[in-house]
Each structure stands twice: as structure tokens, then as C-alpha cells.
């Protein structure tokens, strides 16, 4: 996987050249920035650092076989506090890998000057562009899903029903291999 300040640009160029499609590179760059900035969690991550950052109230763990090292058992942990859930892959050695962030609180700032509970879908569209998918749910909420150029990582906004249409929650999903 590509990492670093120019990773999104290189990945976009490769995908566009291979597919023959055109796309707005600015939107892909903005999507990558939103993924990378998330709520301020930057690699390398440690379990102790995440516990301090989130002020964890509950933590659960389940064992998982390491797909690359025969016989090695790692774990997937879920760290929870008010309005925030972090799911991380914890290898026996090495840094912790972030798999998912579920945010339903204004306790952590959002990237791109978006404000939890105040920014509307118009604000999100202005800041990031149109989502890859939009889903209107029976309860009146809407889900806007954005995906990185490789299709491996994403984030989803859930908006309150009309007339408010403000950000209710955000979920980030990260590729871990």
C-alpha cells in the first residue's frame, strides 16, 4: 500500500492510467487527507497511546491468527469511550494498526474545518465533493460514503433527518494486511 504525502497522487495516476478514466484529482486528494487526518491518530500507534488518547472506558479483545506468520496469534481490540469506538489490530510485535473509527461525538475535531453536529451535507459536499454512494434510510437519516482511489479505505458520514441534516456520526475504515 502507498503511504506518505504523495501516495494519493501516485495511486491516482496509476489507477487513471490503467483505467483510461478521468477523475477530479483534487477530490481524491481531499478524500485521502480526510482519511489520513481522521481524528488525529497517526502511525506508529501503540495500545497504551490509544488508551490515553481516547480515555478508554471499556476494552474487549479477541484472538486472531496472524495471516503472515504461521502459529502466531494476534488480537483485535475494541476500545470504547463516550461517542468513540476504535477497532485496532494488535500484532504480537510491532505497531498497532487502526482498522475502524466510529465517532458520534464532538469530543474530537473533524478534518477540513467540518464541525460535528453543526456542518450539513452542503458543507461536506463543499469541503470534499460528491460521495461515491448515498443511501437514504427509512429513519430519515442519510449516509454518504467516500472511498480512496484504490478502493481499500473509506469514511461514511451519517446525517440527521431533515430539516437539520447535520453530521450525526462518522465512520472511517482502514485497510489492514
- Say yes or no: 55 and 94 in one domain: yes
- On the question of pLDDT at 25 being above 70, the answer is no
Q: Is there a contact between 29 and 11 (Cβ–Cβ < 8 Å)?
A: no
Domain count, the chain: 2
What distance lies between CA 92 and its chain's CA centroid?
A: 24
- On the question of pLDDT at 86 being above 60, the answer is yes
- Say yes or no: 65 and 115 in one domain: no
* Structure confidence at residue 23 (pLDDT): 52
- Say yes or no: 152 and 139 in one domain: yes
Average pLDDT value for residue range 3-22 = 40
- Say yes or no: 167 and 121 in one domain: yes
* Structure confidence at residue 152 (pLDDT): 95
* Structure confidence at residue 24 (pLDDT): 64
* Structure confidence at residue 176 (pLDDT): 87
Q: Does any domain span residue 84?
A: yes
pLDDT > 90 fraction of the chain, expressed in percent and rounded: 79
- Say yes or no: 129 and 47 in one domain: no
Q: Which of helix, strand or coil describes residue 19? A: helix
- On the question of pLDDT at 18 being above 90, the answer is no
CATH of the domain at 113: 3.30.1450.10
Q: Does any domain span residue 104?
A: no
* Structure confidence at residue 13 (pLDDT): 40
Q: Residue 177's domain spans which residues?
A: 1-39+109-177
- Say yes or no: 26 and 14 in one domain: yes
Q: Does any domain span residue 103?
A: no
Nearest to 38 by CA among 118, 133, 114: 114
- On the question of pLDDT at 15 being above 70, the answer is no
pLDDT grade, residue 4 (50/70/90)? very low
- Say yes or no: 33 and 118 in one domain: yes
| Cβ atoms < 10 Å from Cβ of 103 | 21
- Say yes or no: 134 and 56 in one domain: no
Which cell is 127 given? 469541503
99-143 pLDDT, tens digit per residue, is: 999 999 999 999 999 999 999 999 999 999 999 999 999 999 999
- Say yes or no: 90 and 115 in one domain: no
Amino acid at each position: 500500500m502507498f503511504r506518505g504525502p504523495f501516495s494519493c497522487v501516485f495511486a491516482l495516476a496509476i489507477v487513471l492510467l490503467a483505467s483510461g478514466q478521468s477523475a477530479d484529482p483534487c477530490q481524491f486528494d481531499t478524500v485521502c487527507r480526510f482519511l489520513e487526518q481522521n481524528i488525529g491518530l497517526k502511525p506508529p500507534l501503540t495500545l497504551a497511546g490509544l488508551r490515553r488518547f481516547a480515555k478508554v472506558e471499556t476494552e474487549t479483545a479477541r484472538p486472531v491468527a496472524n495471516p503472515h506468520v504461521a502459529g502466531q496469534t494476534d488480537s483485535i481490540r475494541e476500545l470504547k469511550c463516550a461517542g468513540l469506538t476504535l477497532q485496532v489490530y494488535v500484532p504480537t510485535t510491532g505497531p498497532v494498526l487502526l482498522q475502524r473509527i466510529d465517532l458520534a461525538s464532538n469530543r474530537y475535531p473533524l478534518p477540513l474545518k467540518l464541525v460535528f453536529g453543526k456542518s450539513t451535507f452542503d458543507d461536506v459536499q463543499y469541503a470534499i465533493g460528491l460521495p461515491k454512494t448515498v443511501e437514504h434510510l427509512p429513519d430519515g437519516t442519510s449516509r454518504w460514503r467516500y472511498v480512496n482511489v484504490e478502493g481499500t479505505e473509506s469514511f461514511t458520514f451519517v446525517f440527521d433527518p431533515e430539516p437539520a441534516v447535520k453530521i450525526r456520526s462518522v465512520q472511517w475504515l482502514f485497510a489492514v494486511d
